[in-house]
Each structure stands twice: as C-alpha cells, then as structure tokens.
Chains A and B, each alone.
Chain A
Amino acid sequence: MLVTQLKPEEEVLPKISGKRLFIFECLGCKELYFPKEEVGKFVDSLKEEITGRAILDYLCNREFVKAYVGEYSKEIEGADLVLVFSCGVGTQVVSSLLESKLVYTGCDTLYLNGFQGLSARNFNCNQCGQCYLNYTAGICPITNCPKGLLNGPCGGTKDGKCEVDPEADCAWVLIYKRLEKLGKLDTLTEILSPRDYSKNITEYLSQKEGVK
C-alpha cells in the first residue's frame, strides 16, 4: 500500500538489456498511486523478449503471489530475469518466492508523510524513494539492516546474525548468499552514494498533476 514511481530508464535498461523477461505488475495501490500507464508504455517500448506478464492486485500478499508464481512457472522458468513493477514490498515478495531467479524492480517507492498504511507481514519498505533492491538481490537493506548500510555489512555480524538483534539474520549476509547463488557478487563492488533524504512524495506530487 505505497506510492511508487517508475525508475529512470538509465537505471533499469542496462540491467535488463538483451535478457528474456517475465513481468509482474501490481495494481494494488491504484487508489493511492501506481504509474500504471507509464509502466504500460515502458513495457511496450522494450525490445527484449517477454516470456509472460502477470498483472495483479496486491503483490504484497505472499500467499496470493505464490499462486501466481505457480501458475506462470513455465513462463518464469523461460525468463532470464523477473522484472517487477510495484512498491518495495511487492518486489521483496516476488524475490523471496524465486530464490534462484534474478528479480529486479522497475520502481522507486516514495515516502508518504504520515501514511500508516497496511503493513505486509513478511516484508517492510521504508519508502526510501530510490529502491536498492536491484543491488541487493531483492533484500531491502534499508529495513533489514538496522543501520541501513548500502555498501556492505558492518563488522558486527556474529554467526550470520545481526549485532543489534542476535535473533535476526544479518541482512548483508543474506544479500551476499543470495547474490552468490545468482552468480552476481560483482554487483556488490559498486560504491553507492548516501541516501537522498530529500526524495519524498510531496516533492514528487508537486511535479505531477492529475495524481489522485
């Protein structure tokens, strides 16, 4: 139940160029804002082969999405990567259901002041406005690492657990393991700039007319 915006093309295109794609689109938040038309236009403009496309409500509902993943298993199998257009929660749900597939997001989720929303049970999104899931194998570093680190773990991980909460897995160890499995460890060598805290929905809405 969050507000999303299409990522800049320059950020998405290099990640997907020449790949066979399966596409998930979420419509769950259309009462808030989901850039349905822009996503449609963007997907239509892609030259890449699209093995299948699932458009559904509430990609944040894991059980529900699980059924879809089953239904589309052949199309997903045939794709090199799965591209998700949804908020950060939806992408994390898809990525958690497809452990050995590359799952990328095509959206940034924006901060909505004072918005409480429905919280999905398994995954959280802090609406950081510059979704990092494409660097972190679909595991959100903002909500899963208490320090919100972007460039790898702190030194405090003990036996794969977080220094802040020994019951919780260290997000960065999970990210590492998943990227290793996907053969994508080189993603981690990129140095990410600090978060842009000026990204929020008010700024976005003021640039955009006709948003409900």
Chain B
Amino acid sequence: MNFSEKLESGKFLVTCEVAPIKGVNIAKVLDEEAEPLRGKVDGFNVTDMQSSVMRLGSLPVCHLLAQRGLEPIFQITCRDRNGIALQSDLLSAYVLGIRNVLVLTGDYVTLGDHPETKPVFDLDSVSLLKVASTLTEGKDMKGNELDGKPEFCLGAVVNPGYDPVELQLIKMEKKIRAGAKFFQTQAIYDLETFEKFMKEAEKFKVPVLGGIIPLKSAGMAKYMNEHIAGISVPEKYIRMMAEAKKEERVKTSIQISVELIRGIKSLCRGVHIMPMGWKHALELLAATELA
C-alpha cells in the first residue's frame, strides 16, 4: 500500500521528518536517519531547507528514498522558487518517482543563514496547491498542455495552536478546495487545544496527522514557547524535563511524547514526528507501540 492508499484505508498513520544535511554526506540522511525507521513509518517527510537554512535539496533526497523503497513526502515551499521553477520541480519530482507532496508557504529568509538573499513568494501555499492540482489535470498554471500527466497525493500544513484559530480553519478549507488530501500539524503539546481544533476541523473530513516534536530539554521547551508560533508547552512538561537527570532526559522526553501520541490517537488519523536532530525516534516509536 502506498501512502495515498493508506490515507484511504483509515489506518492510523505515522510519518517522520528527515532533514537533509548541510553538505553532501548523504549517508547520514539515508543510512542513519531514514533506514532505521524502515517498516516502522508510513512516510518520510523531507524538509525543504527548513528555517531558511541552505542545505541539500528535498527533491534528490526524496528520490533516493524512493529508490530504496522508502515512501517519501516531498516538502516544497514558495520561498525560493518562482512559478516556473516550482512547476518544473513538481514535474521532476513525478519523473523521479515521488508521489506525495507537502506544500508550504515557507519561512521568511531572514530566519535562516542567508538573511540577505531575495525572498520569492511568487505563489503561496494555496495557489501552489492549486497549481499542483492543475498539473495533474495535464495543464500548467497558464493552461498550456503537458505531454503526460503527473499524479500527486497533495498535503498541506495547519497550525492548531494559531490564534485566531478561525483564520487557520478558513485557510485550511481553501487548501482543501485547492487539492490538499491530508494535513500535518505544527507540534502539539496541549491536547485540549488540539481537541477543540479537531472538533472544528472534523467537518472537512480530510485526514489530519498531529505533529510531535520530542523535547530535548526544558530550555528547548521554553525557547519554543517564546519564539515558535502556535506552540505552548505546558508548565508540567517543562518541569518534568528540568527535573530529569541528564541521562534520564531521553526517557522523560519519550514518556511525554507517548502521552501526547496516545491523546492524539483518539482525535485524528495519525502522528507526524519531527525529531529536529533528536536521535531517538526509533525508541519513541517502540515505546508508543506504533512500531
């Protein structure tokens, strides 16, 4: 079963993020990050120069994963490419065996390590989804015919902790109309907020995978609370991480994530794990009995 069929099947899904490295040491990404999770996850999201840090591209890494029989989810942002390049990369992705595409607006360039570069944002997440849908109908965004149609399972992101959340729901509905068949969310730490969000989002009847970022430390949690949109790690988790001895931190972090995943499980169709350099995704999956 491929990812799209699994979405249809109603099965509880697990996806995990792999981040291309800054450089060309591809073994790190493929052998160390992705390979250990073979058979344990339903899809590998490959990030597109996350946080606007210049790195190896999502497209070739997705292709190499697909060659190994690991199901890639190609993340594509509107930050660095105009409409011509985005469409071309989507066609290239299809030819390289990539079927799942997650469309994002992308962070602003000043957040990353090339703050003085030119931000593009020719399209936005909604218009890019629409353009990708148009490609699958055999036309480019200007209506010109394509020789052969690509097929994509399109996805998008949503931030359940966004304030005002109605604004996210309006955009979510637009993304669905533009072709999104699944959603992955920003990290969830507060199940109550997520439950409220899902009550509203349920009406769309589109599978949602709840985001998990395992905590590395209390400092990381505090940093995210202060700086990252839509994230609010509750005080109790920050305390648990602060009180854990150094060698117990991974265990405590897993315990927190497992608790969250159990909660998420009853509310939506899957989880999306974003390790962000944390090396224990496999242990987390085992502990969740998802593995």
Q: Residues on A close to B: CB < 8 A?
A: 146-160, 163-164, 172-173, 176-177, 185, 188-189, 191-195, 197
Residues B127 and A193 in contact, CB atoms below 8 Å apart: yes
B235 sits at the interface (CB 8 A): no
Residues A147 and B110 in contact, CB atoms below 8 Å apart: no
Determine the chain A residues whose CB is within 8 A of the CB of B227 once the complex forms: 158
Closest chain-B Cβ to A189's Cβ sits at a distance in Å of: 6
User: Which of B123, B130, B170, B230 gathers the greatest number of chain A CB atoms within 10 Å?
Assistant: B170
B247 sits at the interface (CB 8 A): no
Residue of A nearest to B159 (CB): A155
Bound Cα distance A187, B119 (Å): 27
Residue of B nearest to A185 (CB): B170
Residues B163 and A149 in contact, CB atoms below 8 Å apart: no
Could you list 9 examples of A-B contacts with CB < 8 Å? A149-B124, A155-B162, A155-B168, A157-B162, A157-B163, A191-B174, A193-B127, A194-B124, A194-B141
Residues B167 and A172 in contact, CB atoms below 8 Å apart: yes
Residues B124 and A147 in contact, CB atoms below 8 Å apart: yes
Q: Residues on B close to A: CB < 8 A?
A: 78, 83, 105-108, 110-111, 119, 121-127, 130, 141, 157-159, 162-164, 166-168, 170-171, 173-174, 177-178, 186, 227-230
Closest chain-B Cβ to A129's Cβ sits at a distance in Å of: 15
Closest chain-B Cβ to A186's Cβ sits at a distance in Å of: 9
Determine the chain A residues whose CB is within 8 A of the CB of B110 once the complex forms: 164
Given contacts A146-B119, A191-B126, A191-B127, contact A154 B105 (CB under 8 A): yes
Residues B178 and A191 in contact, CB atoms below 8 Å apart: yes
Given contacts A157-B229, A176-B167, contact A192 B127 (CB under 8 A): yes
- Residue from the list B122, B127, B158, B174 in contact with A189, Cβ < 8 A: B174
Closest chain-B Cβ to A42's Cβ sits at a distance in Å of: 30
Residues A155 and B111 in contact, CB atoms below 8 Å apart: no
Determine the chain B residues whose CB is within 8 A of the CB of A160 once the complex forms: 163
Closest chain-B Cβ to A78's Cβ sits at a distance in Å of: 32
6 further interface pairs, Cβ-Cβ under 8 Å (given A149-B124, A155-B162, A156-B107): A151-B127, A151-B174, A154-B106, A158-B228, A185-B170, A194-B123
Residues B108 and A151 in contact, CB atoms below 8 Å apart: no
Closest chain-B Cβ to A154's Cβ sits at a distance in Å of: 4
Residues A158 and B229 in contact, CB atoms below 8 Å apart: yes
Residue of A nearest to B164 (CB): A176
Determine the chain A residues whose CB is within 8 A of the CB of B162 once the complex forms: 153, 155, 157
Residues B125 and A151 in contact, CB atoms below 8 Å apart: yes
Bound Cα distance A184, B119 (Å): 31
Bound Cα distance A136, B159 (Å): 22
- Residue from the list A163, A177, A189, A194 in contact with B107, Cβ < 8 A: A163
Bound Cα distance A43, B171 (Å): 35
Determine the chain B residues whose CB is within 8 A of the CB of A156 once the complex forms: 107-108, 229
Residue of B nearest to A159 (CB): B163
Residues B107 and A153 in contact, CB atoms below 8 Å apart: no
Bound Cα distance A84, B193 (Å): 42
- Residue from the list A148, A155, A159, A189 in contact with B186, Cβ < 8 A: A155
Residues A150 and B173 in contact, CB atoms below 8 Å apart: no
Closest chain-B Cβ to A119's Cβ sits at a distance in Å of: 21
Bound Cα distance A15, B163 (Å): 29
Closest chain-B Cβ to A187's Cβ sits at a distance in Å of: 10
Residues A147 and B119 in contact, CB atoms below 8 Å apart: yes
Residues B108 and A188 in contact, CB atoms below 8 Å apart: no
Determine the chain B residues whose CB is within 8 A of the CB of A149 once the complex forms: 105, 121, 124
Closest chain-A Cβ to B273's Cβ sits at a distance in Å of: 18
Residues A152 and B171 in contact, CB atoms below 8 Å apart: yes
Given contacts A146-B108, A163-B108, A191-B126, contact A155 B173 (CB under 8 A): no
Residue of A nearest to B157 (CB): A155
Bound Cα distance A197, B82 (Å): 11
